[in-house]
Amino acid sequence: MLLEIKGLCKEYKRREKTFSVVDNVDLSIGQGDFVSVIGRSGSGKSTLLNMIAGLLEPTSGNIKLDDRDIYTLKDRKKSEIRNSRLGYIPQGFGVLYNLTVFDNVRLPFYLSKRQGDAAGRASFLLDEVGLSPLAEMMPSQLSGGELRRVLIARALMNEPEILIADEPTSDLDIETTKIIMDLFARINQNGTTILIVTHELDTLEFGNRVLTMESGRLTEHAQSNAAEKPYI
Ligand SMILES: Nc1ncnc2c1ncn2[C@@H]1O[C@H](COP(=O)(O)OP(=O)(O)OP(=O)(O)O)[C@@H](O)[C@H]1O
Ligand SMILES: [Mg+2]
């Protein structure tokens, strides 16, 4: 199994009371899976993704990538894996405001010290997400949906084995959403494993598995049921 999550919990304290944001989650993801997670606001979806992306230490439980528990690795090794094997599209904005769009996209390439045509790949990805004309602009000059697409291109820069995306199309119109979801479907067909949190039920058709998060608990159900269970 590519990703094996067992008994994963995240607890926070609020006014002296401990509460579970992610509650005993088990999840196995195989190579080539396209997994969609839905659920109400505040149900723990981003917390779960942040832990899987190696950015937030669980209170208990473990996450194994190729049989190796990622939270037992040293920070340097963990960042190395994050840079080279995972692509992460965060829910908030994570662009660097002092770099151009183009430099934001190609940054992961240099962070992982890869060899090759970074500029060529960055241009290709900017074209894929429809941002070629904006390559030399600064992020402060972009709209919310354009910024989101910069993050999508950046997450794909190092050809990740696993793409983790937290509501990647939430700022996008229907047409641009389709362009991005088609891009995800294509890279999934080429072998990239995808884990996506989504609010748009019509994006569920792109995946092969649908899970619902409810008060920190994750349940899997047949895809056909998901569309019948709108929650928004
Ligand atoms: N650092 C923190 N300290 C305390 N509580 C937190 C922290 N981070 C998140 N929470 C709480 O945990 C719960 C789950 O948050 P999370 O961001 O995972 O929800 P979500 O399902 O992604 O919601 P949304 O759909 O709105 O993005 C929320 O009630 C939130 O307030
Ligand atoms: Mg969230």
Question: Residue 63: which residues within 8 A CB-CB, separation 6 or more?
Answer: 3, 4, 5, 8, 51, 52, 69, 70, 71
CA dist 177 and 174 (Å) reads 5
AA letter at 121? R
State the pLDDT at residue 92. 83
**Cross-sheet strand order for the sheet of 68-69:** 17-29, 3-14, 60-65, 68-69
Q: How high is the mean pLDDT in each 10-residue block of the chain (232 residues)?
A: 96 91 97 95 96 95 94 90 91 91 95 91 97 96 95 96 96 93 96 93 86 96 53 41
State the pLDDT at residue 223. 56
β-strands 209-214, 217-221 pairing? antiparallel
Shortest-distance ligand to the CA of residue 45: 1
Tell me if 181 sits within 8 A of 173, measured CB to CB: no
CA dist 200 and 92 (Å) reads 17
Q: How far is the CA of 215 from the centre of ligand 1 (A)?
A: 10
For the chain, which residues make up each domain, given as ranges?
A: 93-159
Q: Is 45 helix (H, G, I), strand (E, B) or coil?
A: helix
Tell me if 70 sits within 8 A of 57, measured CB to CB: no
C-alpha distances in Å from residue 33, one per residue of 28, 38, 127: 10, 16, 26
> Residue 83 has what DSSP assignment?
H
Tell me if 63 sits within 8 A of 195, measured CB to CB: no
42 C-beta closer than 6 A to ligand 1: yes
Question: Residue 217: which residues within 8 A CB-CB, separation 6 or more?
Answer: 23, 24, 25
Shortest-distance ligand to the CA of residue 48: 1
Q: How far is the CA of 34 from the centre of ligand 2 (A)?
A: 19
Q: How far is the CA of 111 from the centre of ligand 1 (A)?
A: 29
Which residue is closest in CA terms to ligand 1's atom 3? 12
State the pLDDT at residue 64. 96
State the pLDDT at residue 7. 98
Q: How far is the CA of 12 from the centre of ligand 1 (A)?
A: 10
Residue 47 CA, closest ligand 1 atom number: 18
